[in-house]
Amino acid sequence: MHIGIAGVGLVGRVLALNLLQKGHTLTLFDVDKAYGDTAAGMTAAGMLALFAELESAESSIFNAGKRSIELWPSLLGQLDISDACQLKGSIITAHPQDLTELDHFIGTLKSKVEEASSIEVLGKEEISALEPDLYQHSKAFYIPHEGQVDAQRFMKVSSDYLLNHSNVTWHEEKKVDKVSSGSIMFEGKREVYDWVFDTRGLGANDEIENLRGVRGEVIWLDAPEVNISRPTRMLHPRYKIYIVPRPNNRTS
């Protein structure tokens, strides 16, 4: 089929890669350049944190997250960057004054999904063995089934892949005005496809009611003296703080 995709951010790219595997021909539209940075996917910390979000999310989000973690390795393999994903679990800890809250948080997870029974409590020694640089913490939990994707690398390499693919036409800097069944409107023109997908993220705000974005800020740090190898969450009563390791001693 000839398929039109409006919005080539994180979801548009995942979709495009899957459709190409099935042999379809694609026309992509994005208001930004292929290597631009307006997509949320360019900012994302890339945590595959299905448990960490469960406290405030529905179980359907948890189930989608589980499926997503299974799919990332083969998707990254298609781009030849299998090392852009690590699935060696994550850590959640807290300052001493917030430890009761941490126990409560884990209790909530365990009451919500059966899989949370695999979350392990860590004492000082176990923490030091798993992540030596967290030695100052006396208590933490290890969540085995979480991980992270290098979202920025995925975005960069998928741009190269899609731009060079013979079954892909990518219209850069084209604002889509409307997506409806079988057609995409842009610059006063209407293009017809066998199928169309609207993956404009928040860009579809005018057409889709109650669409809301993920709120957050990412700070990049050069931290040559810190070695944390897994995504680590600091439970805090007011903020969600995550440390996400990056190549070359960077962290976000």
**Binding of residue 40 to ligand FAD (CB under 6 A):** yes
Which of 30, 150 has the CB closer to ligand FAD? 30
Among 20, 39, 140, 168, binds ligand FAD (CB under 6 A): 39
User: Segment contacting ligand FAD (CB under 6 A): 31-39, 126-134, 138-146, 159-167?
Assistant: 31-39
User: Is residue 4 part of the contact set for ligand FAD (CB under 6 A)?
Assistant: no
Note whether 9 binds ligand FAD by CB under 6 A: yes
Q: How far is the CB of 7 from ligand FAD (least distance, A)?
A: 3
**Of these, 26, 32, 62, 134, which contacts ligand FAD (CB under 6 A)?**
32
Tokens of 207: 């057409």
Site string for ligand FAD, 165-204 (x = CB under 6 A): ----------xx----------------------xxx-x-
Instruction: Look at the block and give the residue holding tokens 């409560």.
Output: 104
Q: Contact region for ligand FAD (CB under 6 A) — 36-44, 73-81, 106-114, 232-240?
A: 36-44
Query: What residues from 41 to 60 belong to the interface with ligand FAD (CB under 6 A)?
Result: 41, 43-47
Indicate if the alpha-carbon torsion angle 126, 132, 135, 137 is positive or negative: negative
Q: Which residues bind ligand FAD (CB under 6 A)?
A: 6-12, 29-32, 38-41, 43-47, 175-176, 199-201, 203, 214, 216-218
